[in-house]
Amino acid sequence: MKKTPPASTPGFATLGLDPRLVDALTALGYEEPTEIQAQAIPLLLEGRDLIGQAATGTGKTAAFALPLLQTLAKAERKRGAPGALILVPTRELAMQVAEAVHRYGRALGITALPVYGGAAMDGQLRALKRGVDVVVATPGRALDHIQRKSLKLDTLGTVVLDEADEMMDMGFAEDLDAILAATPVERQTVLFSATMAPRVSAIAAKYLRDPVRVNIAHERLSHTEAPRVRQEAYMVARAHKGAALSRVLDIEQPASAMIFCRTRTEVDELTESLTARGVRASSLHGGHNQAQRDRVMAAFRAKTVEVLVATDVAARGLDVKHVSHVINYDVPAAAESYVHRIGRTGRAGREGVAITFAEPREHRQLRLIESETRQKIIVKPVPTVADLRALRLEALQARLRDAIVEGQFEGMRTVVETLAGEFDIMDVAAAAVRLLAAPQSDDVEEIPDPKAPKPSKVRANAPGPRERLFIGGGRKLKIRPGDIVGAIVTHSSLDAKSLGSIVIQDRHSLIDVPAGSAQEVIDALQRTGIKGKKLLIRKDSKR
């Protein structure tokens, strides 16, 4: 088994990728390849079998998906017959990988289908019969389709095992063995795993031919390299990260914060979302010229901007001494990256705070960072609406105490004295506090615990209150009401009759949907977009 030497990190255009794929990556905001991508992509384009030892968050999906798509586009094969099978441990990862393959391969006309247990078999059968280029499946459901002969393997050119150690831990060893034994002998096989447990090594030895190994090692860090800051993490599903971030910002009230995202697209979308919620936020990424960068940094240093949303690449070399909070919107790719990020807070003897948002499946990566840095990361539940209201009442109590000490409210005594003649003075004071502490618009959304049981589904067309959704595109993008309705009806459980009024403006649109289905619609449109465009979708903050 050959081992590759460490590689430098060139731009995507130098890795041998089709220009259409490079253009797609640029449009999605990817600035430069990660280490696993820089090493793996050229090898996979050569057709080599590969073992990649890399943790979640290192960019391994693009590392195997991009060469896979390029190989499929060049291959002489029957269109619609599966050319690649990607096996993953969970339905959530199946959906994420299928979405990534779709985004990268749209310009090549390549289609992807997620196939997993717990979903209706009929829909998957129809989709497979229509034809698909890439199947992303959990092992159990993939084997079901193979046995039904609805998933044909004779046209496969590439098989990918993603998170192989996780699939082994979940008891899929026999299923993987049966699936791989049924695939063509002349195939390219790619295996990614965070660890090389004996069972993973055994399946690699059995089914990979002269594989090259790419190992993204984690250098163990001295505990002195990580700053002494309060380090916390919140487990939250991807769909609720934005709401969870806003809640945490409300609780923490940072003097100045840096939020790190993986791509420039995510930076722009998050900055727009925070600004819409009343946060003074600016973005910083590789798409900015030097003059823009200087203006943003000057505003951040002057504290006229309180939140800076940035990519790692754009934030290199920044020296800002007053950062009170560093927030990882995604789990960093490696412990070194985590340490570099949080090193921007807690300087010069000041207290610092490092907060990380992690999806449930990233729990192992979070623990790996904790082990590498030898620093405890406290995992906490996302603050609830009750927590937020309690904090606001505490702040209100402090303001009232200051106002009493300051005095200068003689003109108000007449009102109090009049009401005191009719009501108990405590009731009068409590009513005044209640009015001052009236619920704000962001109090209404509870953020579900990702480990809690799913609530029973509300009928899509059931009568009840409506929620207005904001869509970040309108007439300028040639979006019409029919485009919005079509996207919602196609990709959610709602029908057209359950939708309310639609307003199309130049740069945004608004639509009323049943309140109980609002998050479902947001999740669906964020996954699929409208007219092939990825747009900001959120609850309307002005409603």
Q: Which conformational region is residue 435 in: left (phi greater than 0), alpha (psi within -120 to 50 degrees), or beta? A: alpha
Tell me where in the chain the CATH 3.40.50.300 domain(s) lie: 2-215, 223-380
DSSP state of 496: G
Beta bridge partners of 307: 257, 281
Beta bridge partners of 281: 307
Could you give the CA distance from residue 352 to residue 530 in angstroms, rounded to a whole number? 41
Tell me where in the chain the CATH 3.30.70.330 domain(s) lie: 466-539
CATH superfamily for domain 466-539: RRM (RNA recognition motif) domain (3.30.70.330)
Helix (H) or strand (E) run with residue 259 in it: strand 257-261
Fold of 2-215: Rossmann fold (3.40.50)
Neighbours of 203 (CB within 10 A): 21
DSSP state of 6: P
User: What six digits make up the tokens of 156?
Assistant: 């496969």
Q: Tell me, rounded to whole angstroms, the distance of Cα 373 from its chain centroid.
A: 24
pTM for the whole structure: 0.56
User: What six digits make up the tokens of 384?
Assistant: 């609830």
Assess if CATH 3.30.70.1230 describes domain 223-380: no
DSSP state of 111: -
**pLDDT per residue rounded down to tens, the chain (543 residues):** 544 434 433 588 899 999 999 998 888 878 788 888 999 999 999 999 999 987 666 778 999 999 999 999 887 766 668 999 999 988 878 888 999 999 999 889 899 999 988 788 888 999 999 999 999 999 999 999 999 999 999 999 999 999 898 888 888 899 999 999 999 999 999 999 888 888 899 999 999 999 999 987 654 444 444 446 889 999 998 888 888 898 899 888 898 999 999 888 889 889 988 888 888 899 988 778 878 888 888 889 888 899 999 987 767 656 677 889 999 998 887 777 788 788 888 765 667 899 999 988 888 888 888 887 888 899 988 888 777 777 777 777 877 777 777 777 777 778 888 888 888 888 878 887 777 766 554 444 567 766 655 444 334 444 468 889 999 988 888 887 777 887 887 778 887 778 888 888 888 889 989 988 899 899 888 887 887 778 889 988 765
Residues written for the chain: 543
